[in-house]
Chains A and B, each alone.
Chain A
């Protein structure tokens, strides 16, 4: 009887898959998407016409750059690792500290905050107004014409389309069990059994909560970024960061908010030690990495 109850308990806890596949497409306004895409690649959005969104969010790779840490428009170093733009629509909040609740807000903040593109609202609007393409496009789509808000909206709309469906793991979730090798399946089992899935779950395998860096062990790495505390100024939020997505993790190195882990191996090891209180073996790490590699999806067809 006791065994039976516990079996049901165990099954009930795991029967409901905590990870959901990415859909094939998403409902968007394609006119805005087209405009957003143009803007995404437009360097005029930066103060000195030097960089665009694309400069840091490389769409042909992992939706982020591989440089550590990321560089802003004024070549002043950005002291946070740039998160991927892929599947960002499924994030519960944007930025490591969840500063922006929506994609639109994220674009707006990115365009204005000095450490990023460091543009000037009026200057941007002035530059875009000179382009007859934008002039007519904006006028057709937004009654208010070219404003920071409408620019952000268009770019956010484009970013919504940057999803990476049909990863091997998604296909497995959809029932194509054979799409994963045994090692990858073992990796997934380990991922669940070790407890990684407690935080990395949901459609984006992460990005649906904030979690403290260092639950079991206090990290020795230095924190010049206090994470969620920056936003809430709540003592309890110190060292809390948005749990990052694991989708396309293979292509989004370096890792963590400060880009301190250059390889997946190191990242998995650090996560196991600080977050789960375990010293993972090489074998375990390898298995998990092989699972993580199945999370790489098809690049979005943005052209």
Chain B
């Protein structure tokens, strides 16, 4: 805008100067033309002045004044034009005006003198003509008087007509003629009075003409014209010089302004092109930035969808969390913002770990690692964390950006897988042990019987009994293994029949009656009367027997085992609670896994196959039910078997 106005201003100035210089040139041309006109007029006046002089200084013969009058009129009119021209041009030049005034005066006087000259000259010419006639009249007379008279007259006429003679000579001639007429006898032919009159008139008019001409000459019109012309040209030359100077200045100024104009114009043009180019580039960049922004947005969306994102300031205060963070942690955004990062710290993670983490990120390095975090509900979750410090241009840390992936399932699965692997090895170890122990007993006792000859029958019987027990135990173990593998491979068939639960419990209690009695354990039974279930009788009996055996096994003497039934939310729940040693949470986790005997409780008297609860769980699951355990160490454990009621119908 500024550039544009500058250009407009400059163009305006340029045009103005251009017009001004044109005007100046036009004026100069006009002035020059004027000067030329004046010069021509001066020249004409000069010529006419000479011609007029020629006419006036002509001889005494009679003449026609038309030409002279014409010249005088022309001269006057030319002079009028000239004086008017010069007056309008040099109204301020005092000396020129003065000269014009002087010359004008002189010319007026000269004109009057010329008119007088004409009048006098006519009279004089008339007298000359009279004298000529006189001469021709007396010429033929032979008398002495006439001869002298004729000679005097012709001499006089010759002198005045052919030679420019002075007044004194004219007077001398007239004196001679007059004295001759007076002294001599007057001829009849001569009109003496007339002659005298003409001579005196001649004398008078020639004197006057002489005065007229000398007055005209004394007016110095020619010299005055010269000086006027000189003055005129002095002024004109000065003005020409000034005009030339102004023209030169104007041209210089014009060129200067033109240069400035061109520079500004081209500069502006260049800048404009530059700006346009920059604008285009900018647009391109903007577009690219927009694209990047879009892409970043998409990335952010993807990141938000897939990852837990949080940003903390250098002090570790949370300033940003994404939705995923909230969902996973169980905290709302309001609860998280402004809180320290340690809000999600899990107690299981050692302090040294975090020290190491902070050390890494404070050293402006990216931290990478798996961290166990705490949910709001005290649950835990594993995250694969990447924490990178965000730096400003000076290299100072402005914030920390943390991207975490919830890998709880992965970790759990891994742990589970590891546990399963461990269980399998343990299973194999246990199984080989379980199988080998009774076999050792069988082989050992049988070798003793074979080796000893002097063995009593009673001892043999005792040994064989032991072999028998081992055999039965082995068979049990093998049966259990077969059952378990059957269930595992899905080959277990269940045949559901309506059973009386109370009777089933009673039957089962009978099977363990000896053990109960041996430990003086009290059995309490609730709500079983009249309950009928559609289940596989043998399998359910096996479950209850299994749990009951365990309960008896881990319950100290004189304690109580409670069996109860209740219907709840479409489930038939059978609870078997003891007052035994109880289980830790870790133990609860593995209790239903195969071969996972609790080592701490393991002793010879209490050992089992380690498959009992695993098989029980499988059987309950075959009935679409669940089996759970609630336990506290030192207080007791409670096993709940839930079977769907729909099984009844």
Task: Determine which of A6, A236, A240, A276 lies in contact with B157 in the assembled complex, contact meaning CB atoms within 8 Å.
Answer: A6
**Are B194 and A210 touching (Cβ within 8 A)?**
no
Residue A193 interfacial (CB < 8 Å): yes
Residue A101 interfacial (CB < 8 Å): yes
**Are A9 and B157 touching (Cβ within 8 A)?**
yes
For window 68-109 of chain A, which residues contact chain B by CB distance below 8 Å? 90, 92, 98, 101
- Min CB distance B504 to A, Å, is 149
Q: Known contacts A198-B62, A209-B118; decide if A92 and B139 are in contact (CB<8 Å).
A: no
**Are A203 and B66 touching (Cβ within 8 A)?**
yes
**Are B197 and A10 touching (Cβ within 8 A)?**
no
Residue A20 interfacial (CB < 8 Å): yes
Bound state CA distance, A195 and B122, in angstroms?
9
Interface size counted on chain A using CB atoms at 8 A: 40
User: Which residue from chain B places its CB closest to the CB of A199 in the assembled complex?
Assistant: B122
> Which residues from B are CB-within-8-Å of A98?
115
Flag A214-245 by CB within 8 Å of B: 1 or 0 each.
01100000000000100010101100100000
> Which residues from B are CB-within-8-Å of A90?
66
Bound state CA distance, A280 and B380, in angstroms?
173
Task: Determine which of B122, B158, B161, B194 lies in contact with A277 in the assembled complex, contact meaning CB atoms within 8 Å.
Answer: B194
**Are B132 and A13 touching (Cβ within 8 A)?**
yes
**Are A215 and B123 touching (Cβ within 8 A)?**
yes
Bound state CA distance, A19 and B62, in angstroms?
12
**Are A18 and B139 touching (Cβ within 8 A)?**
no
> Which residues from A are CB-within-8-Å of B638?
none
Bound state CA distance, A101 and B70, in angstroms?
11
Q: Known contacts A6-B136, A195-B126, A215-B123; decide if A209 and B112 are in contact (CB<8 Å).
A: no
> Which residues from A are CB-within-8-Å of B112?
232, 234
Residue A252 interfacial (CB < 8 Å): no
Flag B191-213 by CB within 8 Å of A: 1 or 0 each.
00010011001000000000000
Flag A174-209 by CB within 8 Å of B: 1 or 0 each.
000000000000000000010101110111000011
Task: Determine which of B69, B135, B158 lies in contact with A92 in the assembled complex, contact meaning CB atoms within 8 Å.
Answer: B69
Bound state CA distance, A277 and B112, in angstroms?
26
- Min CB distance A208 to B, Å, is 4
Among B73, B126, B194, B197, the most chain A Cβ lie within 10 Å of the Cβ of: B126
- Min CB distance B58 to A, Å, is 12
- Min CB distance A104 to B, Å, is 12
Task: Determine which of B61, B66, B118, B119 lies in contact with A13 in the assembled complex, contact meaning CB atoms within 8 Å.
Answer: B61
Known: A13-B61, A195-B129, A216-B201. 17 other contacts (CB 8 A): A2-B154, A5-B154, A6-B135, A6-B154, A9-B132, A9-B157, A12-B61, A16-B64, A18-B63, A18-B64, A98-B115, A101-B73, A208-B65, A208-B66, A209-B119, A210-B118, A210-B119
Flag B542-586 by CB within 8 Å of A: 1 or 0 each.
000000000000000000000000000000000000000000000
Task: Determine which of B66, B115, B130, B157 lies in contact with A195 in the assembled complex, contact meaning CB atoms within 8 Å.
Answer: B130
> Which residues from B are CB-within-8-Å of A5?
154, 158
> Which residues from B are CB-within-8-Å of A212?
119
Bound state CA distance, A195 and B202, in angstroms?
14
Residue A147 interfacial (CB < 8 Å): no
Residue A211 interfacial (CB < 8 Å): yes
Q: Which residues of A contact B (CB under 8 A)?
A: 2-3, 5-6, 9-10, 12-13, 16, 18-20, 90, 92, 98, 101, 193, 195, 197-199, 201-203, 208-212, 215-216, 228, 232, 234, 236-237, 240, 276-278
Bound state CA distance, A90 and B67, in angstroms?
11
- Min CB distance B565 to A, Å, is 142
Secondary structure dominating the interface of B: helix
Residue B125 interfacial (CB < 8 Å): yes
**Are B66 and A20 touching (Cβ within 8 A)?**
yes
**Are B197 and A198 touching (Cβ within 8 A)?**
no
> Which residues from A are CB-within-8-Å of B89?
none
> Which residues from B are CB-within-8-Å of A20?
64, 66
Interface pairs A-B: 8 shortest CB-CB: A198-B126, A202-B66, A209-B118, A195-B126, A92-B69, A208-B65, A198-B122, A202-B64
- Min CB distance B111 to A, Å, is 9
Bound state CA distance, A263 and B69, in angstroms?
30
Residue B76 interfacial (CB < 8 Å): yes
- Min CB distance B340 to A, Å, is 107
Bound state CA distance, A151 and B255, in angstroms?
54
Flag B38-82 by CB within 8 Å of A: 1 or 0 each.
000000000000000000000001111110010001001000000
**Are B73 and A209 touching (Cβ within 8 A)?**
no
**Are A201 and B123 touching (Cβ within 8 A)?**
no
Q: Provide a sorted-by-A list of 12 A–B residue pairs whose CB atoms are within 8 angstroms.
A: A6-B132, A9-B132, A10-B136, A12-B61, A92-B73, A195-B126, A198-B126, A199-B126, A202-B65, A209-B115, A209-B119, A210-B115
**Are B119 and A193 touching (Cβ within 8 A)?**
no
- Min CB distance A19 to B, Å, is 8
Flag B121-163 by CB within 8 Å of A: 1 or 0 each.
0110110011011011001000000000000001001100100
> Which residues from A are CB-within-8-Å of B73?
92, 101
Bound state CA distance, A202 and B70, in angstroms?
11
**Are B62 and A101 touching (Cβ within 8 A)?**
no
> Which residues from B are CB-within-8-Å of A10?
132, 136
> Which residues from B are CB-within-8-Å of A202?
64-66, 69
- Min CB distance B59 to A, Å, is 10
**Are B65 and A13 touching (Cβ within 8 A)?**
no
User: Which residue from chain A places its CB closest to the CB of B191 in the assembled complex?
Assistant: A278
- Min CB distance A45 to B, Å, is 26
Flag B176-199 by CB within 8 Å of A: 1 or 0 each.
000000000000000000100110
- Min CB distance B146 to A, Å, is 14
Bound state CA distance, A211 and B22, in angstroms?
58
Q: Known contacts A9-B157, A209-B119; decide if A198 and B125 are in contact (CB<8 Å).
A: yes
Residue B116 interfacial (CB < 8 Å): yes
- Min CB distance B137 to A, Å, is 11
> Which residues from A are CB-within-8-Å of B66?
20, 90, 202-203, 208
- Min CB distance A244 to B, Å, is 14
**Are A18 and B132 touching (Cβ within 8 A)?**
no
Bound state CA distance, A5 and B122, in angstroms?
23
**Are A209 and B122 touching (Cβ within 8 A)?**
yes
Bound state CA distance, A20 and B66, in angstroms?
10
> Which residues from A are CB-within-8-Å of B76?
101
- Min CB distance B157 to A, Å, is 7
> Which residues from A are CB-within-8-Å of B64?
16, 18-20, 201-202, 208
- Min CB distance A1 to B, Å, is 11
> Which residues from A are CB-within-8-Å of B119?
209-212, 240
Bound state CA distance, A19 and B64, in angstroms?
8
- Min CB distance B141 to A, Å, is 14
- Min CB distance B148 to A, Å, is 13
- Min CB distance A187 to B, Å, is 18
> Which residues from A are CB-within-8-Å of B133?
193
Q: Known contacts A197-B62, A208-B66, A236-B116; decide if A276 and B135 are in contact (CB<8 Å).
A: no
> Which residues from B are CB-within-8-Å of A277?
194, 197-198
User: Which residue from chain A places its CB closest to the CB of B208 in the assembled complex?
Assistant: A236
**Are B69 and A211 touching (Cβ within 8 A)?**
no
**Are A18 and B197 touching (Cβ within 8 A)?**
no
User: Which residue from chain B places its CB closest to the CB of A193 in the assembled complex?
Assistant: B133
Bound state CA distance, A180 and B292, in angstroms?
129
> Which residues from A are CB-within-8-Å of B161?
9
User: Which residue from chain A places its CB closest to the CB of B158 in the assembled complex?
Assistant: A5
> Which residues from B are CB-within-8-Å of A240?
119
**Are B123 and A92 touching (Cβ within 8 A)?**
no
Bound state CA distance, A6 and B65, in angstroms?
24
> Which residues from A are CB-within-8-Å of B132?
6, 9-10, 13
> Which residues from A are CB-within-8-Å of B63?
16, 18, 201
